[in-house]
A and B are shown apart, each in its own frame.
Chain A
């Protein structure tokens, strides 16, 4: 019987990790909380992916097809309810929606429990997310864009002026989220392009602290947004939004121009960042892996080992370990899968040696 790797989470990281384990000749048991595979990109209705603008569902379908393999056992609507053991000899209880519990023996574990979008109403009400219908978030905009439309939620009419506010829930000491969420600049720019494609008469603004468009995102997303789609990037963060004449009045500073800014907008998109998902917090506690001060799973071997956790035999992939884009996530998933299988095999060899 080949060594088994337990993969927790059926998003891009978990799907890729399970597929890689099977491709390397191992056996994977994939546990997913929801009834469908695909994780946050599916649950939050992602439209097009950043930066290549390809369909999110088509990309996920490739990953979903990857786990249709006799060597991969998928548990949907299931949660991890108990966990014990050490590298090479873990035992996990997987509880389904019907309450039935299955015991899984695994030599190693890959945690791929992901992130959740920052809730802009949680700590403060400064942008009035729960007050103004036309103040929405990146995933709210994704949902509309996945339906090939973009309107003012209050009226159903297309907006004339659209603003994105960057770093909502990120890079903020008051919130305790000191980190940059890494993808929001790219995602906002991608959405801005999609909005300009849908509504060529709309003006789209992105209000930012720094634009962080790593590597090829620079020339594949940022430059085209600015140069071909005339998206206006304005350095300055909005301090508050108030309702005025049925529209939204934004107050901020145009810092590079050195002047105050008061503009009427029709839709304001809050570029919410990443926080550890509830699943990441719960699974980390159950598995006994250390979390960093933000609640993400700690990777003490950084920078040379981005996938090892504080517990031997348990690895992490994707945004469960902190803000990641899909490129990082897929790379980590392959690495975590290979290292997990190697750890399980090594432990198996040791056990075999002890028996003989």
Chain B
């Protein structure tokens, strides 16, 4: 519909198929009504302050069925969202963050290169959250652990012991609880990953990680009487 800049080489049928997949999601009708283009979501969005990112444009492109822009966003924008849902203050009841949730799932399920690249640095976090249900533990703070934490992590790591002693509260006391999770909880968690298709999703973006997770889960699930085959 407009002068197209990026991804002109991707066939329109591909863009349409992915768009249709987003629109067919059961949540879609509750996440997008009409857009006033008023910008209240952008004003509330923390990511929009730091990146060239706009939840308004997500709602607009989806509402207008602008396939070119949708595909650009699917590749280049959705990973800039911090999924805080501040955008829920929309006067029309739209949920741009929710649209992004759906778009991320579609991007991953379809093994989009951009999705793989976006998640590349987070193998460790994904492993932690899927194997234990908690995201990080204090002992995971290492110089190159989290690319999105910025360059200061390396700086802080140099004298991490000193920093820890300088801080009044305890900083390592949750390490044990972050790694030890009750077997019953883990069994339920692993079943959720299996049954909701999350584990299959991981396969699309990181086959190695998928294999490791499968191994971790297999034993416990089989002990609990579930077949993972």
Contacts and interface: CB of A to CB of B under 8 A. Distances in A.
Contact of A261 (B2, B57, B92): B2
A227 B2 contact: no
A256 B2 contact: no
Contact of B34 (A227, A257, A263): A227
Given A223-B34, A227-B34, A257 B57 contact: yes
B63 A226 contact: yes
B33 A235 contact: no
B1 A263 contact: yes
B3 A260 contact: yes
A227 B57 contact: no
B60 A256 contact: yes
Nearest to B1: A263
Interface in A257-310: 257, 259-263
A116 interface: no
A235 B56 CA distance: 14
Contacts of A222: 34
Given A230-B65, A257-B57, A235 B2 contact: no
Interface string B23-51: 00000000001110100000000000000
A232 interface: yes
A interface secondary structure, majority: strand
Contact of B33 (A227, A259, A263): A227
A234 B60 CA distance: 9
B64 interface: yes
Interface residues of B, number: 15
A24 to B, nearest CB: 44
A337 to B, nearest CB: 39
B60 A223 contact: no
Contact of A235 (B3, B37, B57): B37
Given A223-B34, A256-B56, A263 B2 contact: yes
A262 B2 CA distance: 6
A119 interface: no
Contacts of B37: 233, 235, 256
Could you say which of A222, A227, A260 has the most chain B C-beta atoms within 10 Å of its C-beta? Answer: A227
A254 interface: yes
A254 B33 contact: no
Interface string A210-233: 000000000000110011001011
Interface string B3-15: 1000000000000
Contacts of B65: 230
Among all A-B residue pairs, the 6 with the closest Cβ atoms: A226-B34, A256-B37, A227-B34, A232-B64, A227-B33, A261-B2
Interface of B: 1-3, 33-35, 37, 56-57, 60, 63-65, 69, 92
22 contacts: A223-B33, A223-B34, A226-B34, A227-B33, A230-B65, A232-B63, A232-B64, A233-B34, A234-B64, A254-B2, A256-B37, A256-B56, A256-B60, A257-B2, A257-B57, A257-B60, A257-B69, A259-B3, A260-B3, A261-B3, A262-B2, A263-B1
Given A233-B37, A254-B2, A259-B3, 13 more contacts: A222-B34, A223-B34, A223-B92, A227-B34, A232-B64, A233-B34, A234-B64, A235-B37, A257-B57, A257-B69, A261-B2, A263-B1, A263-B2
